[in-house]
Structure 1
Amino acid sequence: MNIAITGGGTGGHLAIAKALGGALIEQGNQVIYIGSMSGQDRDWFGDKGLFSHCYFLNTSGVINQKGLGKLKSLYKQLTALGCVRNIFKTHQIHYVLSVGGFSAGPASLGAILFRIPLFIHEQNSIKGALNKFLSPFARAVFGSFTHQGKNYIKTSYPIRSEFFTQARIRKAVRCVIFLGGSQGARAINDFAILCAKKLTEKGIKVIHQCGKNDLERVREIYKKLEILEYIDIFDFDKNLVEKIASADLYVGRAGASTVWELCANGLSGLFIPYPYGANDHQYYNALEFQKDGLGLIVRQNDLSPNALFDYIDALEISDTDGVKNISKISLRLRDKINADGASAIIKEISERLK
């Protein structure tokens, strides 16, 4: 079949696009990508290494704009419909699969207007504004959190196989990884700095992704604290999966892809939701794990070293059989997700196209 995957803007959306696109291509489908000139879309797919064709439209986000800016963004979204129509005709698209984000606007709206079946994947526990609007028009909406809707189908989250193949049951907290993202998150970096010396004194290894914008500042602080040699500090690493797999506890944001990647790897997290996310969606992403006793949420304004060290102490508690809480949680995390997320979604789509 000829399929258009659309959406992006952020790494979470684009990771889903990559996972679903790869699975569809493996099954012999012709898959194109429709994204935006804004956001991270071109960084991910600009070389056309995965998709047969990639189109980046002149669009921008609408929700975060105000006044005239919102009108300009809406105008860009609507004028891009002409491009979308030509793309659909050129590739004889059978259906459109949206992964959300403002990049998905023109192709998703085009699918509805031009009567092409539309399917949606919602990454987060709280639906984004575009997906809220589009969901009633979609053949099905897929997701891994608990949502409402007659066309909602719950599946495992589609993530890269490496998180499953490198998964392990944690036995003790010997290594903590702080992830502030490739651009850096100042609050997480500062929190890591506050905790690092005591962690190293306890013999716990520290891995810290502090981002390119904050690398020199953080490195200098670690140097002054005389612990730089004990910290694996970096801004970006293509082998991040391996670093995650080597850790026993995660500290960082709670984007949808992140929480499910950790889940597949059996890695518990102390989640610090991004406080300015739409509808506080990172908090609700992490809340499902906290309710199940599989992670801990700490609001950014409430961060203190005690929160981390108290959680480490709780993970190290053993039952009467000598099994630590960290091992129980690690095992339960792996049972919460299956490796067939992408193929399950594709199978459900095929059923609805018959």
Structure 2
Amino acid sequence: MKVLVSGGGTGGHIYPAISIVNYMKEKYPDAEFLYIGTEKGLESRLVPEQGIPFETISIQGFKRSISLDNFKTMYLFLSSIKSAKKLIKDFQPDVVIGTGGYVCGSVVYAANKLGVPTIIHEQNSVAGMTNKFLSKYVNKIGICFPDAADYFPSEKVVLVGNPRGQEVAGVKPSNILMNFDLDPDKPTAIIFGGSRGAQTINNAMKEALPLLEDKPYQILYASGSIYFDEFDEYQEQLDTLKNVKVVPYIDNMIQVLVNGDVVVGRAGATSIAEITALGLPSILIPSPNVTNDHQTKNAKSLVDQGAALMIKDTALTGESLVTTLDQVMLNQGLREKMAKASKQEGIPDATDRMYQVIQDLTK
């Protein structure tokens, strides 16, 4: 079997694609894979690191406002379809899978025009612009949130979940917190604002430091490298706070998360998949800088089931953060209820379901 995958821009599009490839490598040891992305996207680093053959096309996203730059975008889109068709003809895939981001728009559209079976995967509760466009052309659409079905032709939709969740579900607890000078036996909150960090979360953490003294729980905070230097002036205070550790980045995030008791962060689709796969309670702070406020809708799906609490970005302060942390970290019974609800919200066999869709299309 030959499988071509495309998705890019953010980790939320890339990690599910990598999870699908890794899973199918186990099912089909002799299978061949090709990933098409962009040279400047995050996928250009993440995908080759996984040993997956990688090719690029040139394309950029449309501006939502009226802009002359959109004429260049249209030119690149048309030329990228031509480039994608050449790569597809050379590789001769049995199926093409798009996981979101504008790069997969050209690739999946080109595959459809060449008569190759196609699938797209929508990670969020609100469909992205590229996937809404592609929904007219693809054979099947995998979704993670039932609400996303409203954006697509019903006969094409399959609830599969996020393959990233199934990949992390088997990770076992360890003593990794000792690597951060933290106590593995103490209740721990893991706080982060995504791979690059988040300014509002960083500001709240700085305000929260004096309020965290003598708390019976500990915090590991990944600030993001661009915000880490802001803690230089707080170093003396951090030295006295033995229950708070600030680092720029956590490389082995899943291994750390599985040893945490509560997760605090944004509500991106990949984060939601990881949190529910691990059955973790969460305090979600949806990013306001996303299309159609989809992170709020993602977060609400967990809040409504009792798996998470939510703080609006505009309401986030050091005081509101610590108050909400106390609500969960000082109440073991609540944490256990939230953990159970979180686990129930996850779809543990997401990659199995996606694999079945692929099999059905390639029979």
State the shift of 1:15 in Å. 0.5
Which of 139, 157, 161 is the aligned partner of 1:156? 161
- The residue that corresponds to 2:343 in the other structure is 334
State the shift of 1:190 in Å. 1.1
Distance in 1, Cα, partners of 2:237 & 2:319:
23
Contact 1:96 1:118 in 2 (8 A): yes
- The residue that corresponds to 2:88 in the other structure is 88
* Number of positions where the alignment pairs a residue of Structure 1 with one of Structure 2: 345
State the shift of 1:17 in Å. 0.9
Gaps of at least 5 residues in structure 1 are: none
State the shift of 1:329 in Å. 1.4
- Secondary structure of the residue aligned to 2:120 is strand
Structure 1 residues 211 and 314, CA, compared in 2 at 3 Å: closer, same or farther? closer
State the shift of 1:255 in Å. 0.4
State the shift of 1:72 in Å. 0.9
- The residue that corresponds to 1:347 in the other structure is 356
Distance in 1, Cα, partners of 2:309 & 2:186:
15
Amino acid at match of 2:127: K
Percent same amino acid among aligned pairs? 25
Distance in 2, Cα, partners of 1:274 & 1:208:
18
- Secondary structure of the residue aligned to 1:324 is helix
Distance in 2, Cα, partners of 1:295 & 1:97:
31
CA displacement 1:179-201 (0-9 Å, x = unmatched) = 02332211111112222332342
Distance in 1, Cα, partners of 2:132 & 2:240:
48
Distance in 1, Cα, partners of 2:139 & 2:353:
15
- The residue that corresponds to 2:39 in the other structure is 37
Equivalent residues in 2 for 1:188-199, closer than 5 Å = 188-199=201-212
- The residue that corresponds to 1:165 in the other structure is 171
Distance in 1, Cα, partners of 2:4 & 2:65:
27
Gaps of at least 5 residues in structure 2 are: 175-184
- The residue that corresponds to 2:274 in the other structure is 261
Distance in 2, Cα, partners of 1:224 & 1:66:
49
State the shift of 1:261 in Å. 0.4
Contact 1:270 1:308 in 2 (8 A): no
Bigger mean CA offset, 238-247 vs 223-232: 223-232
Distance in 1, Cα, partners of 2:317 & 2:227:
20
Which of 201, 213, 230 is the aligned partner of 1:217? 230
Backbone CA RMSD of aligned residues:
2.3
Contact 1:222 1:228 in 2 (8 A): no
- The residue that corresponds to 1:273 in the other structure is 286
- The residue that corresponds to 2:251 in the other structure is 238
Equivalent residues in 2 for 1:13-162, closer than 5 Å = 13-28=13-28, 29-47=31-49, 49-51=50-52, 53-64=53-64, 66-146=66-146, 147-148=149-150, 149-150=153-154, 151-159=156-164, 161-162=167-168
- The residue that corresponds to 1:186 in the other structure is 199
